[in-house]
A = this chain, B = another copy of it.
Amino acid sequence: MSATVLSAKPLLKERYEQLAVQVQKLVQKPILSVIVLGDEPASRFYVQNVEKQGTKTGIIVQVHRLPIETTQTDLLQLIKRMNLDPGVNGIMLQKPFPSHIDEDEIVMAIEPSKDVDGFHPINLGNIMLEKDGLVPCTPAAVLEMMDFYGIHPHGKHVVIIGRSNIVGKPLANLLLQKKEIGNATVTVCHSQTRNMTEITRQADILIVAIGKPEFVTGDMLKYGSIVLDVGINEVLDHEGKPHYVGDVDYNSCVEIASAITPVPGGVGSVTTYRLLRNTFQAKESQEKTK
């Protein structure tokens, strides 16, 4: 057996088209403000992609590229202005931030209804309470994948490897919700888990977000399980050239799993779509509460 490859490509084609149709109906287009400090190449590449996809979808992406030495006070003032500006629907912080910036204070300063990253505690709390709100892009991308490929976690055992604030924990809470893509029995494993393989072998659906290249190998899977790889790690091949691998050892897992996401071109590719989708959703709910 070789697993079905759950590529992001057909999902993105369909979902971007749907989003573009919804955006087209709006007189005022949604506006996403992206704040970038400094000019790191990887970050530049990501932001360029957001701009490109925004343009295709009809969402206006305004990039605020600030000098790396921008102070905490100046950054907070910019965010306050954006919070008050009705023309800004979403505020996204492009990481990493330089070390003199207190990220936590910056995230807390963003008006929760414009927090398209979904990192504000009120948006995370709303996930626990099953209330509407802005869901962080990566967990939302995992749910999009499940929805698009008809993967129903209801009553199944979903094992998540990784307990980060931006992926593992919100994802666990989302999959516990009483929703169609929800109702799963959820286990969260992490660096301190003693019997990792014993647990991952029970997973009907295994979601890996531990940030370690090719951490999950085929012998850790139950035969026929579904593997969703959230990782993206730059490694060097035997010629010293950089390339990207996930947190899953694709070659050994593809023989055991019934379905698997590739890296690149898997879950990670869906996050930009979710960022733009969140911007659209933010605008909609801002208008309702006007």
Contact = CB atoms under 8 A, between A and B. Distances in A.
A172 B199 CA distance: 17
A31 to B, nearest CB: 26
A121 interface: yes
Contacts of A56: none
Contact of A185 (B154, B173, B185, B188): B188
Contacts of A258: none
A44 interface: no
A132 B121 CA distance: 11
Given A121-B122, A123-B125, A185 B199 contact: yes
B176 A185 contact: no
A169 B165 contact: no
Contacts of A156: 194
Contact of A194 (B120, B172, B185): B185
Interface string A112-124: 0000000011111
Interface residues of A, number: 37
A15 interface: no
Nearest to A204: B194
A-B interface, 6 closest residue pairs, ranked by CB to CB distance from nearest: A121-B125, A125-B125, A124-B125, A187-B187, A185-B193, A183-B192
6 contacts: A122-B125, A123-B125, A124-B124, A128-B128, A128-B169, A172-B172
A86 interface: no
Nearest to A154: B192
A190 B176 contact: yes
A186 interface: yes
